[in-house]
Chains A and B, each alone.
Chain A
C-alpha cells in the first residue's frame, strides 16, 4: 500500500487518501482481504489528524471498497462485488451521456461515435 499526500493539491487530504486507496484496490495492488492499517496508525504514519483518516475510511466503506470488522479492523472487500460494479456502471453511464451530448454538439453521427468507442477500447 502506498499513500502520498500533497499539501498543495486542490483536493482535501481525506479525498487524496480515498482516491489513492481506491485506485490500488481496483488495480489489485491492494489484494482482497488485506487488513488496512488502523485509522490511528495511518494518522500517525502520515502525520495527519485522526478525523481526516476516519473520514477517508468511512467514505471507502460507504462506497463498498472496504468493510470494518469488529476486532479485526478495516478489510478490503472483493473487487467484483455488486455494489462496486453498479457504481462503476453508473459512472460509465454518466460519462457516456456526456460524450453523447458533446457528439451532438458537433453533429457527429452514431456510427462515428461507436467507431471512436471501439478505437478507444483497442488502445
Chain B
C-alpha cells in the first residue's frame, strides 16, 4: 500500500499556481521534496496536511482520505513546519497538557525523553525559545505520537549540525519498520543526499521530475570543459553555465560519449543537478 497518494493537486493564488501535482510514496520510504524558495513546496505539504484546501485533486494517507475520516486522517500525520504555531506564553508543561488532551496516541514518556535529551528548558516560555529549540519541540511532538507519515517542511533549517545529524538518525529509525514514511521538503539538499529514497523536484508550481535518488544520480553526469569543447555535442548539454575560461553543464549519462574527449566528467551532487536543471528551465 502507498503511504501517500497525491493526484492532480491544484491551488491558485493571485501570483502563484500549484499545477497538477501527482506522486505516490510507498510505505517505509523517504521522499525529498525539493525546489527553490517559492516553488510550491510549503503549499503542497499544507494541502496534504489539509491545513489548506485544494481547488481540485485528491490525496490519501495509507489509503484514507480526509473526507472519509478527518480526525483519523489528521492523527496519522505528523507535521513539522518552518514557522511554529505555539502560543508565546506557553511552557513545556502547557504543551504536554494540550497534546495529552488533543491527541489520543500522545506518548508523554517518549515526549519527555526527547525534550530531556535535547535539553529543552522546562520553565522557559516558548517566546524565549531559540529557533532551534522550537524546531526540536515540534519534532518531539510529532515523534511522540503514533503517526503513519511525517510531513517535514524545511524542518531542519536552523538546527546546528549535531542536532541535524541526530534528527536525520531519528527519521531513519522512524521508517525502519517499513510501516512509516516521510515527505521532507528542503532546499538544503545535503540533508537528503543519502537518506532519501525518492526525489521530487518542483519548480514554479510544476513537477519537473520524480525519481529514485539512485536512478537520478546515475542518469546524469556533470561535464566541465573549455570553450573549444562546447561545439561537440552541444545539443546534449543541459543548463550550460559558461564564462571566459570554460563551461559546466549536465549531460545524460547515455549521451556522454558524444561529447568532446577533453571534457571532464564527474558524478554530480543533487545540488549541482538542480542548479543546471533550473538553468535549463529558464532558458
List residues of chain A with CB under 8 Å of any chain B CB. 10, 12-14, 40-41, 43-44, 47-52, 55
A41 to B176, CA, bound (A): 7
Per the CB 8 Å criterion, the residue count for chain B at the interface is 22
List residues of chain B with CB under 8 Å of any chain A CB. 28-30, 168-169, 172-173, 175-178, 194-198, 212-214, 217-218, 267
Central interface residue in A12, A14, A43, by most chain B CB within 10 Å? A43
- Give the 5 A-B residue pairs with the shortest CB-CB distance, closest first: A51-B197, A49-B197, A44-B172, A40-B176, A48-B194
Nearest-CB distance from A59 to chain B (Å)? Answer: 12
By the criterion CB–CB under 8 Å, are B169 and A47 in contact? yes
Can you report 10 residue pairs joining A to B where beta carbons are below 8 Å apart?
A12-B214, A12-B218, A40-B28, A41-B176, A43-B172, A44-B169, A47-B172, A49-B29, A51-B198, A51-B213
A40-B28, A47-B169 as given contacts; A55 in contact with B195, CB under 8 Å? no
Given contacts A40-B177, A43-B172, 12 further A-B contacts (CB under 8 A): A10-B267, A13-B194, A14-B214, A40-B28, A43-B176, A47-B172, A48-B194, A49-B30, A49-B195, A50-B197, A51-B213, A51-B214
By the criterion CB–CB under 8 Å, are B178 and A40 in contact? yes
> From B178, which residue of chain A is reached at the shortest CB distance?
A40
A92 to B168, CA, bound (A): 44
By the criterion CB–CB under 8 Å, are A50 and B194 in contact? no
| Contact residues in A for B28 (Cβ distance below 8 Å) | 40, 50
> From B214, which residue of chain A is reached at the shortest CB distance?
A51
| Contact residues in B for A47 (Cβ distance below 8 Å) | 168-169, 172, 194-195
Which DSSP category, helix, strand, loop or mixed, fits chain A's interface?
Answer: helix
Central interface residue in A12, A13, A47, A51, by most chain B CB within 10 Å? A51
Nearest-CB distance from A41 to chain B (Å)? Answer: 7
| Contact residues in B for A44 (Cβ distance below 8 Å) | 169, 172-173, 176
A44 to B194, CA, bound (A): 11
| Contact residues in B for A51 (Cβ distance below 8 Å) | 29, 197-198, 212-214
A51 to B217, CA, bound (A): 13
A12 to B216, CA, bound (A): 12
A50: contacting residue among B29, B168, B218, CB under 8 A: B29
Nearest-CB distance from A43 to chain B (Å)? Answer: 7
A38 to B79, CA, bound (A): 29
| Contact residues in B for A13 (Cβ distance below 8 Å) | 194
A49 to B214, CA, bound (A): 9
Nearest-CB distance from A25 to chain B (Å)? Answer: 23
A49: contacting residue among B169, B176, B194, B218, CB under 8 A: B194
Nearest-CB distance from B24 to chain A (Å)? Answer: 15
| Contact residues in A for B197 (Cβ distance below 8 Å) | 49-51
A47 to B196, CA, bound (A): 10
Nearest-CB distance from B82 to chain A (Å)? Answer: 24
A38 to B217, CA, bound (A): 24
Nearest-CB distance from A36 to chain B (Å)? Answer: 15
| Contact residues in B for A40 (Cβ distance below 8 Å) | 28, 175-178
